[in-house]
Amino acid sequence: METPVDGFLGGPFSLERVAYVYLFEESRSPNEIIEIRRVRALRDGASTFGLSLRNTESDDFGLDQQVLWGGSLTTTKGATADGGATHWRRIDFGRTLRAGQSHEFALRTWIEVDPEPQTEVCFGVTVPAREVSIHLGFHGSPQPSEAWRYGPLPDESAIPKTPSGGRRVKIIGNSVSATFRNPVSGPIYGLAWRWTRQPANGSRGPQRRL
């Protein structure tokens, strides 16, 4: 089985396709996120994909998340030198892959209401990726007035605050999408938007590592 370090980086895989779907229900903060990933094994015997490795000050760690298909979700805890804990979360496929074989899995994460709603979603890759897409669905009265994509950029300080600094994306109905092909490891990419009436304290969305 892969070690926690391998798991944090995704494990012995390349990413064929990753889709992030953010769903907004009558709120400027997303209610849930759906992630769909299709991975390809780089060696024989691959059976798990590492999602995250987090440090906390205590053993407590909670995340309202479930697997929709493609495996089971497990968390392994370990102690840190300062009395805290590490939490390694991974997807166990339930089968062992051969080198070159693909596997798809999906996760759903429920989000608490954010008092400072996000106005962008950005990501960076740590393993080879062929395609990453971001999809935003606005099912309620808060609607975006414009949206733009950006990347590759060196870091978050370079993220454009207006469409003129990026590349405009069409808003079709109540959804916005952007697809990034062959993103490289290191830089960040993302999709940003402005609400029809901008909140006074809008904030950046989370940076994701794949």
Cα–Cα distance, 68 to 136 (Å, whole number): 19
* Predicted pLDDT of residue 114: 78
* 75-116: pLDDT as tens digits: 776 666 666 666 568 899 999 999 999 999 999 988 877 777
* Predicted pLDDT of residue 130: 95
State the pLDDT confidence band at 4, using cuts at 50, 70 and 90: very low
Pairing of strands 65-69, 72-79: unpaired
Task: Name the nearest CA neighbour of 190 among 136, 137, 141, 114.
Answer: 136
* Predicted pLDDT of residue 206: 56
- HSE (CB half, 13 Å, CA atoms) of 74? 14
* Predicted pLDDT of residue 54: 57
Are 110 and 31 in contact by the 8 Å Cβ rule? The answer is yes
Residues of the chain by 3-state class (helix, strand, coil), percent to 5 = 5, 55, 40
What DSSP string describes 76-145? EEEE-TTS-EEEEEEEEEEEEEPTT-EEEEEEEEE-PPPSS-B-EEEEE-SS-BSEEEEEEEEESS--EE
Task: Name the nearest CA neighbour of 86 among 7, 11, 12.
Answer: 7
Token representation of residue 124: 């960076």
Cα–Cα distance, 196 to 19 (Å, whole number): 26
